[in-house]
């Protein structure tokens, strides 16, 4: 049995799913947020230790003001509904991204969720909000450069040392990355962390991504031959 400790998901196609049902795009995001709870519980039961979800990218600000405004309100709706249950289940909330650039009310809700669950030792539920991988790597490089200037670091830095500057410093590398809705793109997501991840692209939209689809993804992962650049059976 191949362990899948860290699962990352690009939750795509909320908007198109809603439109196809004659509903506004925001209705898709609300169903999508409810599905975060469903899939977090299922992933936990299937043995995942780290679940990292792409909720809002540094590029998503280009969307209409109405849509962005709605997504910024979602964390409050979401944690009001589910935080107690997450705490009861021992989930630890981590939010990745440039949080200080979010509306202050959104930032506070996210910070509170992290603070309330900081001592939990169960599933790490990581939500990426105003996250972009190139930006994350750039910020890490600047932080490292500053440490060198301050005499706190030198040029002997290696990959493991660099990871300490990333927003994912407390998590292991991604084992499996799933993207919903059939698009074959990575969209500036966890570029460093997926170096040796297995990739799966499923046709279902995020609102249709059920625990059964998750199980199918994990079964497929079991069939993959992970060699990390080495040679088989050595
Ligand atoms: C992608 O679908 C989805 C998003 C950009 C937003 C995802 C947000 C959630 C699922 C809510 C989670 C938030 C919290 C705080 C739990 P899309 O809008 O790009 O869909 P499209 O490809 O059909 O346009």
Residue 1 has pLDDT above 90, yes or no: no
Tell me, in angstroms, the distance from the centre of ligand 1 to residue 91's CA: 22
Neighbours of 56 (CB within 10 A): 23
Q: What residue spans define the domains of the chain?
A: 6-133+172-222
Rounded to two decimals, what is the model's pTM? 0.97
Residue 185 has pLDDT above 80, yes or no: yes
pLDDT value at residue 232? 72
For ligand 1, which residues put their CB under 6 angstroms from it?
11-16, 29, 32-33, 36, 55-56, 60, 71, 74-75, 78, 127, 206
Tell me, in angstroms, the distance from the centre of ligand 1 to residue 195's CA: 24
Confidence of residue 231 (pLDDT cuts 50, 70, 90): confident
CATH number of 6-133+172-222: 3.40.1180.10
CA-based nearest residue to 33, from 98, 103, 80: 80
Confidence of residue 233 (pLDDT cuts 50, 70, 90): low
Question: Whole-number mean pLDDT of the chain?
Answer: 97
DSSP 113-166: HHHHTTT--S-EEEEEEEE-HHHHHHHHHHHHHHHHHTTS--TT--HHHHHTTS
Tens digit of each residue's pLDDT (9 = 90 or more) over 47-98:
999 999 999 999 999 999 999 999 999 999 999 999 999 999 999 999 999 9
Residue 234 has pLDDT above 60, yes or no: no
Confidence of residue 202 (pLDDT cuts 50, 70, 90): very high
**Mean pLDDT for the stretch of residues 171-192:** 98
133 Cα distance to chain centroid = 11
Tell me, in angstroms, the distance from the centre of ligand 1 to residue 164's CA: 28
Tens digit of each residue's pLDDT (9 = 90 or more) over 120-133:
999 999 999 999 99
Residue 13 has pLDDT above 90, yes or no: yes
Q: Which of 9, 15, 72, 103 to mutate to test the pocket of ligand 1 (most atoms within 8 A of CB)?
A: 15
**Mean pLDDT for the stretch of residues 35-57:** 98
Residue 151 has pLDDT above 70, yes or no: yes
């Amino acid at each position: 049995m191949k362990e899948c400790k860290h699962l990352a998901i690009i939750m795509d196609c909320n908007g198109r799913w809603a439109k196809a049902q004659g509903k506004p795009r925001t209705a898709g995001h609300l169903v999508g947020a409810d599905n975060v709870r469903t899939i977090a519980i299922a992933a936990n039961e299937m043995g995942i230790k780290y679940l990292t979800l792409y909720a809002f990218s540094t590029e998503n600000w280009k969307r209409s003001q109405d849509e962005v405004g709605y997504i910024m309100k979602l964390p409050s709706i979401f944690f009001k509904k589910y935080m107690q249950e997450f705490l009861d289940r021992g989930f630890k909330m981590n939010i990745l991204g440039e949080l200080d650039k979010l509306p202050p009310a959104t930032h506070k809700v996210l910070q509170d969720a992290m603070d309330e669950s900081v001592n939990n030792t169960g599933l790490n539920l990581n939500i990426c909000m105003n996250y972009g991988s190139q930006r994350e790597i750039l910020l890490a490089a600047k932080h490292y450069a500053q440490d060198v200037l301050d005499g706190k670091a030198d040029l002997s830095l290696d990959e493991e040392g660099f990871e300490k500057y990333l927003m994912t410093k407390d998590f292991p590398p991604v084992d499996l990355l799933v993207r919903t809705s059939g698009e074959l793109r990575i969209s500036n997501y966890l570029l460093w962390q997926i170096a040796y991840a297995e990739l799966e692209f499923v046709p279902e939209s995020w609102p249709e991504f059920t625990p059964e689809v998750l199980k199918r993804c994990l079964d497929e992962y079991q069939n993959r031959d992970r060699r990390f650049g080495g040679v088989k059976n050595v």
